[in-house]
């Protein structure tokens, strides 16, 4: 795939920008972390890259990647854990883009599902209902589903939140190997240790690009402080806009 390019991109809702004037390039087969304060536009950016929202201004050039070649894992999985679905079938949904929704799984598909589940530490759990497993096991299955899609562009929004440390580290290592398979990976992360260890590139976002480049330069104390101060300025502006003047004191009759 070609590079993914952002040109003067502004994103938001109801004409209120959440990301402003963002320009830059995600190189092919790269791993980029997106970090920043709460409310800095990180999730909004991933939704737009996935094609789930349209820019307010500017453009996204995905380098010829088609929607079917994008794997997007949002913060909330949206699964009904009471639905009678097995982990194996959940992983198998990643094959639907190539097989079709109603084609069913072939023997080779079942082997592929088993192999992927073993790769993420779920060997032998293909028939386990999704509602009977831990949060870490479910997230492992969702990673295996992403792998089944064989996507060129992988978008992960806080993929290690709410799971145990072992599962988080195992899945972080899986993520780190995807660029070697030719995938471009963009991940919203909050654990700066993971970012520094595993992500060669980082975008520090605070509604605008504070820094974008090699992680050791982007995730510096200076850049993080700048991002935090920008966030404080939004909070101050919001507070000023919403604070009502005190009521006038009653005057004597």
CATH number of the domain that residue 18 is part of: 3.40.50.300
Q: Please indicate, yes or no, if residue 10 is contained in any of the structural domains.
A: yes
Q: Please indicate, yes or no, if residue 230 is contained in any of the structural domains.
A: yes
Residue % of the chain over a pLDDT of 90: 77
| Whether pLDDT at 100 is above 80 | no
Contacts of 106 (CB under 8 A, 6+ apart): 99
What are the tens digits of pLDDT across the range 208-221? 999 999 999 999 99
- The mean per-residue pLDDT over the stretch 92-105 comes to 71
Q: Please indicate, yes or no, if residue 97 is contained in any of the structural domains.
A: no
Q: Please indicate, yes or no, if residue 4 is contained in any of the structural domains.
A: yes
For residue 2, the SS3 value is coil
Provide the domain count of the chain: 1
On average, the pLDDT of the chain sits at 89
Please report the pLDDT score of residue 253 as a whole number. Answer: 32
Q: Please indicate, yes or no, if residue 71 is contained in any of the structural domains.
A: no
- The mean per-residue pLDDT over the stretch 220-247 comes to 72
Please report the pLDDT score of residue 249 as a whole number. Answer: 38
Please report the pLDDT score of residue 78 as a whole number. Answer: 83
- The mean per-residue pLDDT over the stretch 105-129 comes to 93
242 or 197: which carries more pLDDT confidence? 197
Least-confidence region, from 8-22, 35-49, 55-69, 91-105? 91-105
Q: Which domain holds residue 17?
A: 1-65+152-159+184-245
Side by side, the strands of the sheet bearing 57-61 are 16-26, 4-13, 57-61
Q: Please indicate, yes or no, if residue 94 is contained in any of the structural domains.
A: no
């Amino acid at each position: 795939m070609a590079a993914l390019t952002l040109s003067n991109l502004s994103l938001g809702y109801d004409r209120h920008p959440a990301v402003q004037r963002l320009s830059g390039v995600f190189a092919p087969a790269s791993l980029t972390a997106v970090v920043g304060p709460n409310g800095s536009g990180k999730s909004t950016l991933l939704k737009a890259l996935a094609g789930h929202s349209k820019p307010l201004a500017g453009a996204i050039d995905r380098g010829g990647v088609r929607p079917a070649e994008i794997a997007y894992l949002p913060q909330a999985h949206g699964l009904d854990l009471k639905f009678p679905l097995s982990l194996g079938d959940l992983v198998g949904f990643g094959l639907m883009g190539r097989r079709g929704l109603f084609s069913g799984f072939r023997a080779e598909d079942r082997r592929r599902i088993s192999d992927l589940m073993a790769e993420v530490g779920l060997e032998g759990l293909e028939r386990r209902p999704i509602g009977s497993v831990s949060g870490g096991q479910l997230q492992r299955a969702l990673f295996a589903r992403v792998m089944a899609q064989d996507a060129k562009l992988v978008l992960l929004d806080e993929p290690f939140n709410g799971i145990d440390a072992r599962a988080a580290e195992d899945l972080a290592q899986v993520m780190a190997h995807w660029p070697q398979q030719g995938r471009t990976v963009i991940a919203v992360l909050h654990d700066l240790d993971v970012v520094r260890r595993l992500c060669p590139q980082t975008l520090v976002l605070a509604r605008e690009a504070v820094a974008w480049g090699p992680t050791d330069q982007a995730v510096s104390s200076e850049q993080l402080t700048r991002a935090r101060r920008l966030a404080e300025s939004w909070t101050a502006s919001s507070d000023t806009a919403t604070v009502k003047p005190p009521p006038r004191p009653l005057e004597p009759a």
